[in-house]
């Protein structure tokens, strides 16, 4: 057992504080990773604050599922990774491997329920703890390779924000000739803009205001509109083939559905705790679809990392020491993130 430094939430309301946690001994298929950077995802906030399912949060919880680091040690039967490899871990650390969805490489939809990087009960009955820590032990099949061509700090957010936007963009065919809108320019949103642009789509940002317009255009958007202005909804009615909604709060779905062209899809990746409602007429009029999407499978995550490395595409980040995690949480809640906070884990002392 390895005892490592971490940052943990002890209740839904207290600030996160320094903690020490144990990492299991290496099994034959395990990889010990020295974590260099870990991104802060809005899901970490929803989770530690008990917004999704307070009864089932086992405190203390060490969040973090955008992990980038270096392999420090490998189990006796590990073949996919070697000591000193640059690697990443995203939202999952295990799945059944046998159900229909796992066999398709869609482990995020494992029918037995996959093991999340933090807050899940693993095969040994222990609650998993995430990447706001200096080391983690993960079974080799859930460890991704971070190719040369992306630095570890800007690669970390790809492990959640990157794959969560890449997967629906690919699934719904974002590419040349397609008009894609991204709602919310935060961690996921800014990656959605970069990726949709790299895939060749015409990209529009729909942000609450025009404050981040220059950034949006620099990230690859062709157009930028403020959703706080009702004229936006008139100007863009019936325009988009695909809308990716990354907003962490409740939005007026009917207003956004009205922006879809015939056969268009609004896919929700934002995961607010409150239920969203819509009028079925928003779907009927225009054969529109409303869909959801959860991260992406391991194979697709590797594909996304390779795609980003070839294009030298990483996240726009603000690197912070561990003692600024609580400030960063406040800024995420205030939509004051440009565009992902990343913890330098060498500061976890």
Among 117, 207, 265, 282, which residue sits at the site for ligand NAP (rule: CB under 6 A)?
207
How far, in Å, CA of 309 to CA of 41, rounded?
21
Say whether residue 337 binds Zn ion (CB under 5 A). no
At residue 46, φ and ψ (nearest 5 deg) are -55, -45
Binding part of the chain for Zn ion, among 37-45, 80-88, 250-258, 333-341 by CB under 5 A, reads 37-45
Residue with tokens 């025009």: 210
How far, in Å, CA of 80 to CA of 54, rounded?
37
How far, in Å, CA of 13 to CA of 164, rounded?
27
Determine the angle formed by the axes of helices 161-171 and 187-198, rounding to 10 degrees.
40
Q: Are 111 and 316 in contact (CB under 8 A)?
A: no
CA-to-CA separations, 258 to 80, 168, 210, in angstroms, rounded: 47, 20, 21
Among 146, 160, 180, 304, which residue sits at the site for ligand NAP (rule: CB under 6 A)?
160
Say whether residue 159 binds ligand NAP (CB under 6 A). no
How many chain residues touch Zn ion (CB under 5 A)?
3
Binding part of the chain for ligand NAP, among 13-21, 36-44, 95-103, 308-316 by CB under 6 A, reads 36-44
The tokens for 248 are: 């962490």
Say whether residue 332 binds ligand NAP (CB under 6 A). yes
Say whether residue 184 binds ligand NAP (CB under 6 A). yes
Among 43, 95, 134, 227, which residue sits at the site for Zn ion (rule: CB under 5 A)?
43
Say whether residue 40 binds Zn ion (CB under 5 A). no
Instruction: Report which DSSP code applies to 323.
Output: G
> Which residue, 289 or 335, has its beta carbon nearer to ligand NAP?
335
Determine the angle formed by the axes of helices 298-310 and 161-171, rounding to 10 degrees.
100
Among 337, 342, 343, 348, which residue sits at the site for ligand NAP (rule: CB under 6 A)?
337
Q: Are 97 and 54 in contact (CB under 8 A)?
A: no
Among 41, 169, 195, 199, which residue sits at the site for ligand NAP (rule: CB under 6 A)?
41
At its nearest, how many Å lie between Zn ion and the CB of residue 91?
6
* Residues near ligand NAP (CB under 6 A): 41-43, 46, 160, 164, 184-189, 207-208, 212, 246-249, 251, 269-272, 293-295, 332, 335, 337
């Amino acid at each position: 057992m390895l005892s490592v430094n971490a940052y943990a939430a002890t209740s839904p309301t207290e600030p996160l504080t320094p903690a020490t946690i144990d990492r299991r001994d290496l099994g034959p298929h395990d990889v010990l990773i020295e974590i260099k950077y870990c991104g802060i995802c809005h899901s970490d906030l929803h989770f530690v604050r008990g917004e999704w399912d307070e009864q089932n949060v086992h405190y203390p919880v060490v969040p973090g599922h955008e992990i980038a680091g270096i392999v420090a040690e490998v189990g006796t039967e590990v073949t996919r990774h070697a000591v000193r490899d640059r690697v990443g871990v995203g939202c999952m650390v295990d799945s059944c491997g046998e159900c229909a969805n796992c066999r398709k490489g869609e482990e995020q939809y494992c029918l037995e329920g996959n093991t999340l990087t933090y807050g899940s009960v693993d095969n040994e009955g222990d609650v998993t703890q995430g990447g706001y820590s200096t080391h983690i032990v993960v079974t080799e099949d859930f460890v991704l390779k971070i190719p040369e061509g992306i630095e570890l700090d800007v690669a970390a957010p790809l492990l959640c924000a990157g794959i969560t936007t890449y997967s629906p963009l690919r699934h719904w065919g974002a590419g040349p000739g397609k008009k894609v809108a991204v709602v919310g320019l935060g961690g996921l949103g800014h990656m959605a803009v970069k990726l949709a642009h790299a895939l060749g789509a015409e990209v529009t940002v729909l942000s609450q205001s025009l404050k981040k317009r220059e950034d949006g255009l620099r990230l690859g958007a062709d157009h930028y509109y403020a959703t706080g202005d009702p004229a936006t909804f008139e100007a863009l009615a019936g325009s988009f083939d695909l809308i990716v909604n990354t907003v962490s709060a409740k939005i007026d779905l009917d207003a956004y559905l009205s922006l879809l062209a015939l056969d268009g899809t609004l896919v929700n990746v934002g995961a607010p705790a409150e239920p969203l409602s819509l009028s079925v007429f928003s779907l009927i009029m225009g054969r529109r679809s409303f869909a959801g999407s959860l991260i992406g499978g391991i194979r697709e995550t590797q594909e996304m990392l390779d795609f980003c490395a070839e294009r030298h595409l990483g996240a726009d980040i603000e690197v912070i020491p561990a003692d600024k995690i609580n400030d960063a949480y406040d800024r995420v809640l205030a939509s004051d993130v440009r565009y992902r906070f990343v913890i330098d884990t060498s500061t976890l002392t």
